[in-house]
Structure 1
Amino acid sequence: MDRIAITGGAQLHGTIPVSGAKNSAIKLMAASLLTDEPLRLTNMPRLADTRFLGKLLTRLGVNVAESDGPDGQQTILHAPEITSGFAPYDLVRQMRASFNVLGPLVARSGQAKVSLPGGCTIGARPVDLHLQALEALGAKIDLHEGYVYAQAPRGLKGAEITFPIVSVGATEHAMLAAVLADGVTVIHNAACEPELADLQDCLNAMGAKVEGAGTPTITITGVARLKGATHAVIPDRIEMGTYAVAAAMAGGEVRLTNARPGLIDALLDKLKEAGAGVEPTADGVIIRRNGHRLDSVDIETAPFPGFATDLQAQFMALMTTAKGESRIRETIFENRFMHAPELMRLGADISVSGGEARVRGVERLEGAEVMATDLRASVSLVIAGLVARGETTVSRIYHLDRGFERLEEKLGACGAQVRRIKGDGEPEL
């Protein structure tokens, strides 16, 4: 199993290009099931998650071809016919978002059998909202032995869908299914994250009629078929925010390019409040910190445009060496402070009570062996390692490879002393 080793103390100076958004790319890949013509996605990240979904789509009948195109990394997906409507557990369990193939399969071919993700039951991070949306669209849903059987032999029908709570995944899933439904679908209490607008833009380029994505109400007028298209994946706001925090942590000056700083205003405002320099540019943002110690600030995670839960672990790492005490409230996911004990192994002073963590800044962190517990936690440990005295070694980085492309290369190009230690092999997720 690979590990990453970081020798702390080096400031960061240079340019980091931001990759395409993982959370958007995987839903756009699923959209290829909706048409028999090729879908060309540009600005595509090369990640473990996109590879996993590519394997699943190939099983369903999609030809997946990665290459370097005239405008960078691209993936061309072509499903002239759906050869299988069966998504087995051994593939779906590797990535929760792969469950979103269910709606497109039913919309195009009238039936599907898809494993519940990760063997999950209808409970924590439930898929019940996904299934309720499909049932509202006329699909007959049966759950049996860990699988969802969905049928709509006469096609899906437009409907009013009102989510009791905001869910990004369920909103995206409803959109993917409703574009081929007969009639008009209105989604109420929809998630407003920018990845929803990116999915809307791609679907509309394919001939769909979707409006309102990015607002709480999305209206979809179903069409008989979709065509092929070319679409550029939106820049990854979580990767952008992660490197912004890394620059503020290590000090120096880093220019983030191919980025949209407006997507992380909540984070950038907190970085400025803490004392970091933030300068928007024509194609991104510059983050500066020259020597002085940052001030502690409080954050509370919230749906977009609030402070992203996927940046909470990174910001906690930043606060470990800030002056004073910061309070971090997590309101999106339960049990998302698993990185706190690992940061404490580096000398951080953190106490957790329920959905709130208190971080009392220390003068210095000390390098140690730590373990990644999830995707965002893994990179928070790398960020902390940038300033820890001595060497920090992060294990179980297969989590990190799911969502960060060429991390060692990007940080190393700015002067970070970071290297990958190859292991004997990596487990499946």
Structure 2
Amino acid sequence: MDKIIVEGGRALKGEVAISGAKNAALPILTTSLLTEGRNTYHNVPNLKDVESIKELLAYLCADVDTEGSTVHIKAAGLCKSEAPYDLVRKMRASILVLGPLLARVGKARVSLPGGCAIGARPINLHLKGLAKLGASITLEHGYVEASADRLVGDDIYFDMPTVTGTENLMMAAVLAKGTTVLRNVAREPEIIALADVLSRMGADIEGAGSSVITINGVAGLNPVEVTVIPDRIEAGTFMAAAALTRGDVTLHQCEPEHLRAVIDKLAQVGAEVTIHGRSVRVKGPEEIASVDIKTLPYPGFPTDMQAQFMVLMSVARGLSLFTETIFENRYIHVSELRRLGADITVSGNSAMVKGVPRLSGAPVMATDLRASASLILAGLVAEGTTVINRVYHLDRGYEAIEKKMAGLGAAIRRE
């Protein structure tokens, strides 16, 4: 099993290109199920999760062809409507085939998903919404079984904003009869990106990016050629790394507007952040100031950046309070940061971080995707050698992160 070894103490300096967003690419690739034509998707990141969704689409008998960061998918003759456990268990986002399959072929059988151990993330909101569109849904033997002659639009309220729930219902509703109104929906940039792709395919969608999305169903959709938006979490991770190491890093091919909450917090810790079009330069401060972090749905501070900022606060001046409002198990990286010398106390969904003068390298174990990234960041600033085990989580969401870090001067390697 691979591990990543980091020798700490080097400031990151230079330029780095940000890859396409995993959380945008996954739902966008599943839009191929909604049309018979050949779709072309550019700037698709080379990640384990992306490979998993492509494998699932191929299992459903879609033709999938990859050329570098471009993926062509043609789902002319779907021969299956089932997403089996062996494929779905690898990645929670596999549930995103449920809405498109139901809309396109009128039936779907999808295994209940697996994924990271950061929280329950139930799909009951997906199923409640699909039922309101007229789907018959049962849960048997670990599978969701859904069917409908044709979905019919309705007014649907989400008890809480859910990104994948919003995406699943959007893709189901574009081919439903009549009008669907989705209320209290997620507002993330990935939602807007999906709506843009569906609109370019011929869907009638309004309101993406707000709390209410209105969809007028159409009879059919056309194939599309689109480019996946930049990964705001990868960008935020490199920005935090620059601040943490007192470095000077310029990020290219990113979208600063998607990073406002992160940029604001970096400014508060003392980093100098300069924006030029789709590039962002981050210069780290000599002394890191403490800030409080509360994760919230977009446009609030992203839960996927909480672990990285906890590392930053571990070597900051003073105390900082973290409040996690999205996932109940999002502090499982804390015990590993403590092994490196961090002073962190967890109580429920809150964590108090007392900055220490230095971290010290040690063997650690990655527990989920963003925790893995946080341990790399900790290793960059820790004295001595940090060995991060179980880094397969990283490959689900960061494209060649160790190579990009090495290109900025980090002493990092994979074994």
The alignment's TM-score, normalised by the length of structure 1, stands at 0.95
Alignment check: 8 A CA contact 2:359 2:381 kept: yes
Tell me, what secondary structure is at the counterpart of 1:185? Answer: strand
1:344 aligned onto 2:338:
yes
Tell whether 2:170 aligns with 1:146.
Answer: no
Alignment partner of 1:129 is 2:97: no
> 2:186 corresponds to which residue?
191
Residues 1:75 and 2:71 are matched in the alignment: yes
Q: Deviations over 1:364-384 (max 9, x none)?
A: 110000000000000000001
* Alpha-carbon distance in structure 2 between the residues aligned to 1:143 and 1:347: 46
C-alpha displacement of 1:118: 2.1
Q: Contact between 1:365 and 1:389, CA under 8 Å: does it hold in 2? A: yes
Q: Counterpart of 1:254? A: 249
Out of 91, 96, 100, the residue aligned to residue 95 of structure 1 is 91
- Matched residues in 2 for 1:418 and 1:118: separation? 30
Who is 1:335 aligned against?
329
**C-alpha RMSD of the superposition:** 1.2
Partners of 2:267 and 2:131 in 1: how far apart?
46
SS in 1 for 2:76: coil
Contact 2:92 2:115 (C-alpha < 8 Å) held by counterparts: no
Deviation at 1:61, TM superposition (A): 1.4
SS of the counterpart of 1:286? Answer: strand
Q: Which runs of 5+ in 1 are unaligned?
A: 422-429
- What is the CA–CA distance in structure 1 between the aligned matches of 2:251 and 2:182, rounded to whole Å? 35
- 1:270 corresponds in structure 2 to 265
AA at the equivalent of 2:338 = M
The answer for the alignment partner of 2:394 in structure 1 is: 400
AA partner of residue 382 (structure 1): I
Displaced runs of 4 or more, over 6 A: none
Any residues of structure 2 matched to 1:270-309 within 5 Å, and which?
A: 270-289=265-284, 292-309=286-303
The amino acid that maps onto 1:354 is G
d(CA) in 2 for partners of 1:252, 1:92 = 40
In 2, distance between residues paired with 1:294 and 1:357? 19
Partner of 1:50: 50
* Amino acid in structure 2 at the alignment position of 1:197: I
Q: 2:306 maps to what in 1?
A: 312
Q: Which amino acid letter does the alignment assign opposite residue 137 of structure 1?
A: L
Residues 214-264 of structure 1 deviation map (CA, whole Å, 9 limit, x = unaligned)? 100001111111111111111111001000001111122100000111111
Give a deviation string over 1:115-174, Cα, whole Å, max 9, x none: 111299xx9311110001111111110111111111112x11111111111111111110
Give the TM-score taking structure 2 as reference length.
0.98
Instruction: After TM superposition, list the pairs within 5 Å mapping 1:20-31 onto structure 2.
Output: 20-31=20-31
Alignment deviations for residues 8-37 of structure 1 (CA, whole Å, 9 cap, x no partner) = 011111111111100010000111100000
Would the aligned equivalents of 1:339 and 1:372 in 2 still touch at CA under 8 Å?
Answer: yes
Structure 2 match to 1:223: 218
SS where residue 381 of structure 2 aligns? Answer: coil
Give deviations 1:374-408, integer Å, cap 9, x for gaps: 00000000001001111101011011110000101
SS at match of 2:358: coil
Distance in 1 between the 2:281 and 2:34 partners?
A: 40
Alpha-carbon shift at residue 100 of structure 1 (Å): 1.2
- 2:359 pairs, out of 339, 346, 365, with 365
CA contact (8 A) 1:89 1:119 kept: no
- Residue 203 of structure 2 is matched in structure 1 by 208
SS of equivalent to 1:135: helix
1:153-192 matches, within 5 Å, as 153=149, 155-192=150-187
- Look up the SS of the partner of 1:117 in the other structure: coil
Separation of aligned partners in 2, 1:100 and 1:284: 31
Is 1:377 aligned to residue 374 of structure 2? no
What secondary structure is seen at the aligned counterpart in 2 of 1:65? strand
SS in 1 for 2:257: helix
Look up the SS of the partner of 1:386 in the other structure: helix
Report if aligned partners of 1:119, 1:146 keep a CA contact under 8 Å in 2.
no
| Residue identity (%) | 52
For each residue in 1:34-74, what CA deviation from the matched residue of structure 2 results, as whole angstroms up to 9, or x when unmatched? 00001111111010000011111101011111113xxxx21
Q: Contact conserved, 2:91 with 2:115, CA < 8 A, in 1? A: no
SS in 2 for 1:80: coil
